C-alpha cells in the first residue's frame, strides 16, 4: 500500500465472507482495509458483490479481521462437530442435537448454517476448503505472534486444523472437520 501510494495509486484489501451461496447472490460481507476515501471510490464495485461492506482500518486490516472471523467460525465448527461425535456415541440423534443447539445457548453459524445441511447430512459440500480454513487460521496466528500475544486457543486451533488437513487433504470441504473429529474419537484412525 505504501509503495502504491508513492506512485499515486491506492490499495484496498477486501477479503469476503459468506460462502458460495452469498457470493452467487451478491450478499457477501466484505471487510475492507484502506482509506475511507478509497473505499468510497470503490464502493460501487463492492456493492455488486456484497451486502455488508465494512471499513476495518488501514491496509491489511481487512485480511486481519477476515482471519480472526474465520478463527471464530472454525472454533465453533469444531465445537459443534465434537459435540455431535460425543452425543452420537451416547446415543443421541444428531439432527435432534442440532435442533436443540439452535434453540439454546449453543446456537452459532456452525449449528445454523452447517449442522443439518452439511454435517448431519454428511454431504460436506459447503464450498470452502479445509486448506483455506487452515491458511486463514495460520494468518490469524501470525497476526497474534506479530503483536507479541500468546493466544493458546488460537494456537490449538491452528494445530488442530493443520493436522486435519494432513489427514483429510487440503481440498476437503471444511465441514469434513467432522470426519476428523470422528477419527480422533477412534484414536486417530
Catalytic residue among 51, 66, 135, 189: 66
Closest-CA residue to 13 (of 37, 41, 44, 35): 35
* DSSP 8-state secondary structure symbol assigned to residue 175: G
Report whether 116 contacts 80 (CB < 8 A).
no
**135 catalytic per annotation:** no
Residue 146, SS3 per DSSP: helix
The C-alpha cell that represents 114 in the structure block: 452447517
Buried b (16+ CB within 10 A) or exposed e, 43-69: eeebeebbeebebbeebebbbbbbbbb
Strands 50-57 and 16-17: unpaired
Catalytic residue numbers read 66
Amino acid at each position: 500500500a505504501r509503495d502504491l501510494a508513492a506512485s499515486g495509486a491506492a490499495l484496498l484489501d477486501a477479503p469476503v465472507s459468506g460462502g458460495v451461496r452469498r457470493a452467487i447472490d451478491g450478499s457477501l460481507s466484505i471487510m475492507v482495509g484502506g482509506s475511507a476515501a478509497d473505499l468510497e471510490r470503490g464502493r460501487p464495485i463492492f456493492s455488486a458483490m456484497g451486502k455488508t461492506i465494512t471499513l476495518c482500518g488501514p491496509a491489511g486490516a481487512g485480511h486481519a479481521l477476515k482471519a480472526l472471523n474465520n478463527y471464530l467460525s472454525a472454533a465453533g465448527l469444531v465445537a459443534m462437530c465434537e459435540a455431535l461425535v460425543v452425543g452420537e456415541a451416547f446415543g443421541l440423534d444428531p439432527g435432534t442435537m442440532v435442533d436443540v443447539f439452535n434453540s439454546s445457548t449453543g446456537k452459532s453459524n456452525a449449528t445454523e448454517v452447517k449442522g443439518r445441511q452439511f454435517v448431519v447430512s454428511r454431504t460436506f459440500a459447503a464450498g470452502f476448503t479445509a486448506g483455506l480454513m487452515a491458511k486463514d487460521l495460520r494468518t490469524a496466528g501470525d497476526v497474534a505472534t506479530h503483536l507479541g500475544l500468546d493466544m493458546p486457543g488460537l494456537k490449538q486451533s491452528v494445530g488442530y486444523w493443520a493436522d486435519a488437513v494432513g489427514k483429510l487433504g487440503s481440498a476437503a470441504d471444511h465441514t469434513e472437520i467432522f470426519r476428523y473429529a470422528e477419527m480422533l474419537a477412534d484414536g486417530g484412525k
